[in-house]
Amino acid sequence: MNAGAVRRRLLRLAPRREDRFILLVEALLLLGLLLAWHAASRRPLGAADIAIWLMAATPLALSAMTQTLPVLAGGHGLAAGSTALLVNAVVAIAPIASGTDALLWIVVGLALGAAVGAVNGTLIGQARLPTIAVTFATSVAVASLAQYLAANAPAPTGASSILQDALDLGSWWLPLLLILVFCAGGIALQMSSLGRGLAAMGHRPGLAQQFALPTARWRMLAYTIAGLGYGATGVFLAAQVGSVDLVMGAPLLLQIYAAVALGGGVPGLRAGSVPGSLLGALVVSATGNLMLPIGLDDYLSSGFDAFWLLLGLASCVALVRLRPQSAIMPPPLPDPPATNSGLAMLALGLLSILVLLFIEPANRDLLTIASLLPLLVVGQGAVMRAGGLDFAMPALVAFAGIGIVTLSQGLNDLLPLSVPVILIVAILIGALQGRMARRLRRGIVVLGLALGGLLLTVADALVVESPTGFAPSMLTGLATTRWGGLPPVVWFAVPLALGSAWWLDRHGPHWQRAAYWLSAVMAALFGLAMAGFAGQYKLGTIDTYLTPTFVAAVLGGISFMGGRGSLLAGIGASLLITALDSLLIAAGWSFEFRLIGFAALLLLAVAWQEKEFKPFFRLQALLPAARRERS
């Protein structure tokens, strides 16, 4: 069979039979939720109730349907929710005084979303960088920019009234029309040559490269179209909510992944369908309708989202076991090259901290932060080197910090009982991820998000149900007192991080289960130490620690694809990042712009590590022989 015949066969992949079964199950589940909503309501449901539900479901439905395209191509779309938030922020602060202004800013919002998607598609398709690294970095950057706009550029009075009035006048037909248009367009796209090509290269990347499918152009189109959908979501939120809100009303990443998973799609495991993602979004949003009649608190909503995500993930795993040919083929784990011991990077990091201490001898907090961040780097780096990723780490840090404050109630007597509880939860989380990592492959990111949603729900419940002010004095003393001129936490964290890194570099580069255990315990210890350092712990809208952890690991030579790198070098890189962050703070950089800088540094480090500058800058034209080999 020649290459042309194979290519035509790849482009004619028929829709899978089990996807139709998933649609039926989702429809029955949605019907059951709507009937339960009707039964739990104290009054008969009317047209206004259905309209409000459609209003609330539309942003999530738009994001979930467009998120299907990157998943279909075998990639991730971690920037979905943050892109919608950025467009929401830009449109909400726009000076809209007429219908012409409204139309202009709608186009601007759509173009902004498409631009973010085009950047992702270019870096993934043309530069061939890992999808998780690219979409995570752009997610952090655009979310930070959205937070900066929300804090420093408040919306003018009545700026979005025209958009809101237009939405109110069409409260029935406009959300339904948007959903139908996106669904019909998504189905047509999925059945087209582009959609079938995305499915081909997503399921069998080797065949797509072997028979010269235009994977770079297709991936760029997929992410650009997905970004256009995220932009439409942000515009709809600006018309619906009016103000910039980074927490309420926005389709968070957990909800988007839950909707896609219910539709049969898990990145790196199995591709879904646009109608399945739509029904999944309606199921997730219909669950919120039950909370008010039943009398459940709002903080439980993320727990329900995590439950739907876990259910969708479990169903996809079962479908892959029943029909293995529907699974997405994982990329091969690269062989670990000959690397140095990492002592040079470690020495450079130590030197940077010593120089800063010499310049600012009174900055004792620098030593505490510099000694704690390596705990996260060792844990996450061990997981990455074994071919996985731990996206439950930020939630574990927050759970440990909040849990120790609330469980102990600020009393030293309860501290010995609270710490084991937190560590046991961390070990269970690590054990579950370690057990499922080999089966889920790159879909382990989804499991981490789901477990993180459950942990944050528990943390919110602890804050609401048993509020307390500060951590126990015994815990805070570990960061405030001095032993030999240093805080006790430094004497504890430094040997633990260095010893673990040295031992794993020598003996355990591919111990995947043990790596997840270690990552979970290190995250819990970090959260405990940070609660003692600050005296309390509060949840933020943007994660603070995962981005510098990834940057340090990559600078230490650890790839997002796994199989190489030195944890000792990662520790040295974390010290450099701590020193750099201190310099940026002294220079007056805000928290948001420092995160944007770290996101850009992450992309540069990944690009340098993967040695893929040539395709991105089109320098391969100078090497035609190498170009023919690559294709």
Number of other CB atoms surrounding residue 334 within 10 Å = 12
Average pLDDT over residues 185-189: 88
Query: Which class in CATH covers the domain with range 25-40+59-326?
Result: mainly alpha
Residue 580 CA to residue 602 CA, distance in Å, equals 14
2 pLDDT tier (thresholds 50, 70, 90): low
pLDDT per residue as tens digits for the range 335-352: 555 455 678 889 999 999
Whole-angstrom distance, CA of residue 259 vs CA of residue 512 = 29
**What's the pLDDT at 248?**
46
CB neighbours of 323 closer than 8 A, spacing ≥ 6? 16, 18
pLDDT(410) > 70: yes
Residue 617: predicted pLDDT: 38
Assess whether pLDDT exceeds 60 at residue 515. Answer: yes
Question: What average pLDDT score do residues 258-266 get?
Answer: 93
Residue 629 binned pLDDT confidence (cut-offs 50, 70, 90): very low
Which pLDDT does position 13 carry in this prediction? Answer: 45
Q: Which neighbouring-strand residues pair with 327?
A: 270
d(CA 483, CA 486): 5
358-362, 496-500, 522-526: segment of lowest average pLDDT? 358-362
Per residue in 550-581, pLDDT (tens digit) is 999 999 889 888 767 889 999 999 999 999 99
3-class state of residue 486 by DSSP: strand
According to DSSP, residue 126 is labeled: I
Question: What does the pLDDT average to over 512-537?
Answer: 88
DSSP state of 329: P
Contact 542, 398 (CB under 8 A): no
Would you place residue 147 in the very low, low, confident or very high pLDDT band (cuts 50, 70, 90)? Answer: confident
Helix (H) or strand (E) holding 429: helix 415-440
pLDDT at 281: 94
Give the residue from 343, 332, 331 showing the smallest Cα distance to 505: 343
Domain ranges of the chain: 25-40+59-326, 364-541
Amino acid 168: pLDDT: 58
pLDDT above 70: residue 630: no
Which range of 46-60, 174-188, 356-370, 386-400 scores highest in mean pLDDT? It is 386-400
Mean pLDDT over 266-292 rounds to 89
Mean pLDDT of 579-592: 90
Please tell me whether residue 483 adopts helix, strand or coil conformation.
Answer: strand
Phi first, then psi: what are they for 521, rounded to 5°? Answer: -65, -40
**Confidence bin at 245 (pLDDT 50/70/90):** low
- Residues 78, 76: Cα–Cα separation, whole Å: 6
| Non-local CB neighbours of 233 within 8 Å, separated by 6+ positions | 59, 62, 63, 66, 84, 87, 113, 251
- Tokens of residue 19, six digits: 């996807």
Q: What is the pLDDT of residue 626?
A: 34
Alpha carbons 581 and 548: distance in angstroms, whole number: 10
Summarize pLDDT for 90-129 with one digit per residue, the tens. Answer: 988 888 777 788 889 889 999 999 999 999 999 998 888 9
Instruction: Give me the pLDDT at residue 44, please.
Output: 77
Range in 88-97, 371-380, 511-520 the model is least confident about = 88-97
The confidence band for 619, taking pLDDT boundaries of 50, 70 and 90, is: very low
Strand extents, DSSP E, 25-138: none
* pLDDT at residue 513, as a whole number: 86
Alpha-carbon distance of 281 to 20, in angstroms, equals 17
pLDDT of residue 175: 79
Residue 467 has a pLDDT of: 73
C-alpha span between 124 and 176 (Å, rounded): 33
**Residue 466 pLDDT level (bands cut at 50, 70, 90):** confident
* Percent of the chain surpassing pLDDT 90: 39
Query: What separation, in Å, do the N-terminal and C-terminal C-alpha atoms of the chain show?
Result: 19
User: Does 264 have pLDDT greater than 60?
Assistant: yes
pLDDT of residue 318 exceeding 60: yes
pLDDT-based confidence at residue 25 (cuts at 50, 70, 90)? very high
- Residue 616 has a pLDDT of 38
* Predicted pLDDT at 569: 93
The pLDDT of residue 441 is: 80
pLDDT-derived band at 289 (thresholds 50, 70, 90) equals confident
Are 407 and 421 in contact by the 8 Å Cβ rule? The answer is: yes
Q: What is the pLDDT of residues 441-455, one digit of tens each?
A: 888 999 999 999 999
- Confidence check: pLDDT of 613 > 50: no
Least confident residue range of 80-89, 291-300, 610-619:
610-619
Task: State residue 614's pLDDT score.
Answer: 41
Task: Please state, rounded to an integer, the average pLDDT across all residues of the chain.
Answer: 83
**pLDDT for the residue 623:** 32
* Confidence at 51, pLDDT banded by 50, 70, 90: confident
